[in-house]
């Protein structure tokens, strides 16, 4: 029997990728969705042939035929919705970042553990074939000893208070700004590829934008191994390099843009280019893994504990930025 999903929040990410990823997954069925705006909810359900529409997440969670939910709401709503879903016996895949605070992450993990349901966090880039190839090269020692990982990413957001996505620059709603929203993805990859992160120096600023949260963030990191890391993430830049570079004692591998799937390998004095394009729907492998985890009664690839670890490092980065300023 397929995993029957409900989608909590029918905004941008749900419309662009989540609903289609669930509908196309062989192990899944998209049974229901909820949104407060009845007109947009009806249109969303019609567009993706979702049979059940609910005005509130509480009504959706009361549906006994739903097995799992995808929480695609602003970050400040995650904790209450995940805890309620766990209490209703639903498995939960929650958008990243997991919560606004580490305490919220702990509350979600505890609720899901007590209820005996799976909890995953939607760091979908983990499933990119190019990231899997990077991991393979690191694990087999092709780069030698790791020296550094660096990434630069941007989003052309120029948001006004009336825009649907404006919550991304409201710290009380999104948890932060560019670092929280797009930097979290890269920090999760840093941890996955380079091992545990030990310390950070951070600069978070608002430049040429009327936001309460940062639109420019720069981090210098140190891994437990001693290797270094550098991350820059911006809102409001028309140019997104989406670059990702790993340097070791035997060479370097890099991709720009990471979403493009082209991996430049310069190892032991030899250069070649590999192609590892992502899935057409970037969320499809994430959905497939979570559905498989439920069926096999195993943890998902990116479980709640890992989402918490990313949040803890983000919190430390924001603290260091405040001390610097």
What pLDDT sits at residue 87?
Answer: 99
User: 24: buried, middle or exposed (CB in 10 Å: 19+, 13-18, 0-12)?
Assistant: middle
Rg over alpha carbons for the chain, rounded to the nearest Å, is: 20
Catalytic residue among 91, 96, 168, 192: 96
pLDDT at 294: 99
Catalytic residue list contains 96: yes
Helix (H) or strand (E) holding 317: helix 304-324
CB 221 within 8 A of CB 190: yes
Look at the pTM and tell me if it is higher than 0.75: yes
CATH number at residue 255: 3.30.360.10
Structure tokens at 299: 């943890």
Residues 298-322, mean pLDDT to the nearest whole number: 96
137 with 271, same domain? yes
Of all residues in the chain, what percent carry a pLDDT higher than 90?
93
- Tell me, yes or no, whether 272 and 287 share the same domain: no
- Does residue 150 share a domain with residue 64? no
pLDDT tens profile 34-46: 999 999 999 999 9
Mean pLDDT of the region 288-300: 98
107, 79 in Cβ contact below 8 A?
yes
Shared-domain flag, residues 84 and 111: yes
What's residue 225's pLDDT? 98
Q: Is 239 inside any structural domain?
A: yes
Phi, psi of 228 (to 5 degrees): -105, 165
Do the beta carbons of residue 129 and residue 255 sit within 8 Å? no
Contact 6, 63 (CB under 8 A): yes
Domain that holds residue 182: 129-277
**Is 156 within a domain?**
yes
Give 196-251 pLDDT, tens digit per residue. 999 999 999 999 889 999 999 999 999 999 999 999 999 999 888 999 999 999 99
Q: What is the per-residue pLDDT for 136?
A: 99
Residues 171 and 253 in one domain: yes
- What tens digit of pLDDT does each residue of 252-283 get? 999 999 999 999 999 999 999 999 999 999 99
Q: How confident is the model at residue 156 (pLDDT cuts 50, 70, 90)?
A: confident
At residue 283, the pLDDT reads 98
**Domains in the chain, number:** 2
Q: State whether 273 and 134 are in the same domain.
A: yes
pLDDT at 95 over 90: yes
DSSP state of 18: I
Q: Would you state the pLDDT for residue 325?
A: 59
Report yes or no on 306 lying in a domain.
no
Whether residue 90 is contained in a domain is answered as yes
319 within some domain: no
| Residue for token pair 């006004």 | 160
Distance of CA 166 to CAs 112, 151, 258, Å?
30, 25, 26
- Is 317 a domain residue? no
Average pLDDT of the chain, as a whole number: 97
CATH number, domain containing residue 80: 3.40.50.720
Q: How far apart are CA 25 and CA 23, in angstroms?
A: 6
CA atoms of 69 and 239, how far apart (whole Å): 34
Quick one: average pLDDT of 182-199?
97
Give CA 42 to chain center in angstroms. 27
Same domain, 288 and 152: no
Same domain flag for 175 and 139: yes
The answer to whether residue 236 is domain-embedded is: yes
Write down the residue that tokens 């639109």 correspond to: 215
State residue 324's pLDDT score: 64
pLDDT band at 153 (very low <50, low <70, confident <90, very high): very high
Shared domain check, 98 and 141: no
Q: Is residue 312 part of a domain?
A: no
- pLDDT confidence tier of residue 157, bands split at 50, 70 and 90: confident
Q: What letters, b where the CB count within 10 A reaches 16 and e where it falls short, cover 86-109?
A: bebebbbbbbbbbbbbbebbbbbb
């Amino acid at each position: 029997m397929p995993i029957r999903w409900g989608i909590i929040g029918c905004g941008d990410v749900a419309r662009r990728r989540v609903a289609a990823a669930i509908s196309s997954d062989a192990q899944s069925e998209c049974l229901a969705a909820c949104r407060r705006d009845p007109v947009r909810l009806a249109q969303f359900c019609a567009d993706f042939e979702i049979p059940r529409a609910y005005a509130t997440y509480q009504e959706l969670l009361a549906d006994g035929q739903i097995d799992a939910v995808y929480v695609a709401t602003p970050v400040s709503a995650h904790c209450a919705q995940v805890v309620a879903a766990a209490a209703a016996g639903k498995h939960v895949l929650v958008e990243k970042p997991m919560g606004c605070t580490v305490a919220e992450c702990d509350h979600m993990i505890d609720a899901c553990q007590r209820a005996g349901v799976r909890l995953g966090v939607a760091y979908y880039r983990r499933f990119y074939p190019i990231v899997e190839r990077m991991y393979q090269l690191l694990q087999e020692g092709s780069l030698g000893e790791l020296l550094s990982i660096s990434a630069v990413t941007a989003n052309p957001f120029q948001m006004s208070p009336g825009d649907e996505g404006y919550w991304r620059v409201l710290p009380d709603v999104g948890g932060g700004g560019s670092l929280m929203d797009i930097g979290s993805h890269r920090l999760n990859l840093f941890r996955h590829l380079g091992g545990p992160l030990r310390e950070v120096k951070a600069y978070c600023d608002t430049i040429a934008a009327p936001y309460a949260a940062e639109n420019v963030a720069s981090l210098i990191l140190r891994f437990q191994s001693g290797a270094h890391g550098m991350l820059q993430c911006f809102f409001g830049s028309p140019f997104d390099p989406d670059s990702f570079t790993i340097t070791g004692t035997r060479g370097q591998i890099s991709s720009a843009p990471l979403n493009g799937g082209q991996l430049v390998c310069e190892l032991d004095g030899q250069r070649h280019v590999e192609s590892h394009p992502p899935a057409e729907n970037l969320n499809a492998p994430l959905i497939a893994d979570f559905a498989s985890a439920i069926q096999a009664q195993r943890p998902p690839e990116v479980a709640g504990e890992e989402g918490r670890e990313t949040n803890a490092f983000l919190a430390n980065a924001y603290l260091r930025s405040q001390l610097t300023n």
